[in-house]
Chain A
Amino acid sequence: MSTKDDHGHAVSGDTADKKGGATILLFFILGFAASLAIGWGVFPKLLYSTKPQPFNFDHALHNREVGDCESCHFFREDGTFSGVPTLAQCTDCHADVMGETEDEAIFVNEYVAKEREVPWYVYSRQPDCVFFSHAAHVVKAKMTCESCHGDIGTSTSLKPYQENRITGYSRDIWGYSIAGFKTHTYDRMKMDDCAECHEKAVGSVDRAPAPGVVSRHFRQEVVPAIYPLDRQAATGSSVQTRRDACFVCHK
């Protein structure tokens, strides 16, 4: 009897276990799907707050009227770059309303008349610790503006500024793909994106520390074994990394 009982008990316990297992699996799958949905869908939406620019700016229109980019975005005599024009530069032309757009009316009435600088949100604003020389990239390395800023010069409207609620920086820095993929050079403006070009410029990555710090065996045998894809002829100025030294872009 007792064995029968035991047997019956064991069978019913088995089915209960199977049921419980399925429920747990279901919960796991649901939970996993929910986490993915929240992580990839909801969180990025919550992370950024959309802020409208003070008024719209039509780059294409200005390009037609002015004829070049350098009239507004120019190098100063000391080699520094003017960046976003100040009110004084705009009023050279816009002392009074020139066109018929509503945006220009806002600009003239709210900012020119009251002598207030326009509080533009700058998509490419970087942290304090970043040193960026436009002269080194545009004049010396002959890079185009588009390679970092994209095709802004032909746009007719400013896109909404999406501010990261945690860091305070624009979404253009991290990039619009939350996974970090990019298809254009101007899709992101993180340090990795600077490093990508700088790595090419100095030849390669060489992860071995300087001679004298480690043995020749470590430099020539161990490091290439760990990082087989790295070429070993890096010419960067850094002793620690053989890339460009940190002080090239930091301050």
Chain B
Amino acid sequence: MEMNAKQHKYGMVIDLDKCTGCGACMVACMAENNVPFKKDESDNKRDSITWMRVFKVSNDKPYPEADICYLPRPCMHCEGHDGHSPCVSVCPATATDYSQETGVVSQIYTRCFGCRYCMAACPYHARYFNWWDPVWPEGMEKYLSPNVSPRMRGVVEKCSFCFHRYQLAMEKAHYEGRAELEEQEYQPACVQACPAGAIVFGDLNNPEHRVTRIVEPDPHHHFTGHSKKALRLLEQLGTNPKVYYLTERQWVRKALDQYNFGSQAAAH
């Protein structure tokens, strides 16, 4: 396919051996993207909206071998085959789309009519439905980010890799007469908030970016990472996600390959 602009493929690498499960990425994400919350978030978590969610995986072993892995899960921005990601291909409203220019799976809230087909199609549970209009505590409306439009009742939302930051970075680049961004100019909120430096973000098509140097995606093998530490969730489905995980722990690799959080199977 011919392109006007250079093709980027923004992706993420999350080092599970560095992640401490502190949840700073979740907090940063909620604040950055005007993510609505309920009055009581301890009640029925299935209604909660978390673009970035940290899962806890345990090997279920007694004391000496007991181990826990925290698994941050943003949207995987699956490329599938030629942008044929699971959610994009089922959307009847063209409300979600794959961009060949950035590799970001977009969600257009004003276009979405809430059929939730994409939620059923997403194998990572990365999409969330707004069951209510957002209710902000008194005065908090003034603290919302003007760069991200708030959502209304009845639409689906998900992680956008903080796409508004790309838009603003590109705006600056246009103003300065540049066509390309520096690696550090576009970084999502979760990446910058992580105190352990466990999340790295960049262009997987650019061999100089850290993400590419870490995972070495192999274009001849469906972009699986050359790196022995790298793995992707549900690799066998062919979703071709752009979020890679790193771990040296064998039980974690096993658990993730089966997408079987905290199970007995993970221990063996």
A239 to B97, CA, bound (A): 6
A157 in contact (CB, < 8 A): no
* Cβ contact within 8 Å between B83 and A128: no
B81 closest partner in A (C-beta): A212
* Cβ contact within 8 Å between A139 and B81: no
Q: Which residues of chain B are within 8 angstroms of A235 by Cβ–Cβ distance?
A: 1-4
* Cβ contact within 8 Å between A129 and B110: yes
A235 to B108, CA, bound (A): 21
A131 to B163, CA, bound (A): 11
Q: Closest CB of chain A to B85's CB: distance in Å?
A: 8
* Cβ contact within 8 Å between B84 and A133: no
Q: Which residues of chain A are within 8 angstroms of B106 by Cβ–Cβ distance?
A: 245-247, 250
Q: Mark A117-138, 1 if CB is under 8 A from B, else 0.
A: 0000000000111010101100
Interface residues on A, range: 20 to 34
A4 in contact (CB, < 8 A): no
Interface residues on B, range: 35 or more
A64 in contact (CB, < 8 A): no
* Cβ contact within 8 Å between B168 and A250: no
A129 to B111, CA, bound (A): 10
Q: Closest CB of chain B to A216's CB: distance in Å?
A: 13
* Cβ contact within 8 Å between A131 and B167: yes
* Cβ contact within 8 Å between A75 and B82: no
A114 in contact (CB, < 8 A): no
Q: Which residues of chain A are within 8 angstroms of B176 by Cβ–Cβ distance?
A: 79
Q: Which residues of chain B are within 8 angstroms of A135 by Cβ–Cβ distance?
A: 171-172, 174-175
A78 in contact (CB, < 8 A): yes
B237 in contact (CB, < 8 A): no
* Cβ contact within 8 Å between A129 and B109: yes
* Cβ contact within 8 Å between B150 and A213: no
Q: Closest CB of chain B to A194's CB: distance in Å?
A: 14
Contact of B170 among A129, A133, A237 (CB under 8 A): A133
* Cβ contact within 8 Å between B100 and A202: no
* Cβ contact within 8 Å between B88 and A240: yes
A to B contact number (C-beta, < 8 Å): 113
Most chain B CB atoms below 10 A, which of A80, A139, A210, A233: A210
Q: Which residues of chain A are within 8 angstroms of B204 by Cβ–Cβ distance?
A: none
**A251 and B167 in contact, given A129-B109, A239-B99 (Cβ under 8 angstroms):** yes
* Cβ contact within 8 Å between A78 and B83: no
**A238 and B82 in contact, given A75-B175, A251-B163 (Cβ under 8 angstroms):** no
A139 to B147, CA, bound (A): 21
A180 in contact (CB, < 8 A): no
* Cβ contact within 8 Å between A246 and B147: no
B3 closest partner in A (C-beta): A235
Contact of B174 among A140, A238, A239, A240 (CB under 8 A): A140
B101 in contact (CB, < 8 A): yes
Q: Closest CB of chain A to B218's CB: distance in Å?
A: 20
A211 in contact (CB, < 8 A): yes
Q: Which residues of chain A are within 8 angstroms of B83 by Cβ–Cβ distance?
A: 210, 239
Q: Closest CB of chain B to A231's CB: distance in Å?
A: 13
* Cβ contact within 8 Å between A239 and B108: no
Binding site for B on A (CB under 8 A): 75, 78-80, 127-129, 131, 133, 135-136, 139-140, 201-202, 210-213, 233, 235, 237-241, 245-247, 250-251
A-B contact pairs, 21 of them (CB 8 A): A78-B168, A78-B172, A79-B171, A131-B164, A135-B172, A135-B174, A140-B174, A140-B177, A212-B82, A213-B84, A233-B2, A235-B1, A235-B3, A237-B3, A238-B100, A239-B83, A240-B97, A245-B98, A245-B101, A246-B108, A247-B97
Binding site for A on B (CB under 8 A): 1-5, 81-84, 88-89, 91, 94, 97-102, 104, 106, 108-111, 147-150, 160, 163-164, 167-168, 170-177
